[in-house]
Amino acid sequence: MQTLNVALGDRAYPIHIGRSLLGRADLILPHLRTRRVAIVTNDTVGPLYLEVLSTALAQAGVGVSAVSLPDGEAYKDWETLNRIFDMLLAERCERSTTLIALGGG
């Protein structure tokens, strides 16, 4: 694994580059304010990687909620954003819940 450190003062963060890193919860845990995450992914990336990430986090004692959205620019709209909000509300996520964007651009 290689790590690139982005030096932004108090907003600095690492970028980890390597294979099978989604299964490494230890790389994510230091960045969580609480042991609760909500993962937002899409129907293309989710089937490939969501289970690996969710399982690693759950095994590390992190509560995981997820929503998978349709892939594509046409779905980057208010309706899709409302689906994310609905999941966050249904799962009783709070301001301290970390949102993880898995895939997309």
User: CA 3, 8, 11 angle in degrees (round to 5)?
Assistant: 90
Please state the pTM of the whole predicted model: 0.89
Structural domain boundaries of the chain? 22-102
**Per-residue confidence (pLDDT) for residue 66, from 0 to 100:** 97
Please give the mean pLDDT across all residues of the chain.
Answer: 95
**Per-residue confidence (pLDDT) for residue 105, from 0 to 100:** 65
The domain over range 22-102 is classified in CATH as 3.30.70.1450: no
pLDDT in tens, 20-34: 999 999 999 999 999
Provide the greatest CA pair distance for the chain: 38
pLDDT in tens, 49-92: 999 999 999 999 999 999 999 998 888 999 999 999 999 999 99
Q: Is 60 within 8 Å of 25 (Cβ atoms)?
A: yes
Which amino acid appears at position 44 of this protein?
Answer: T
**Per-residue confidence (pLDDT) for residue 85, from 0 to 100:** 97
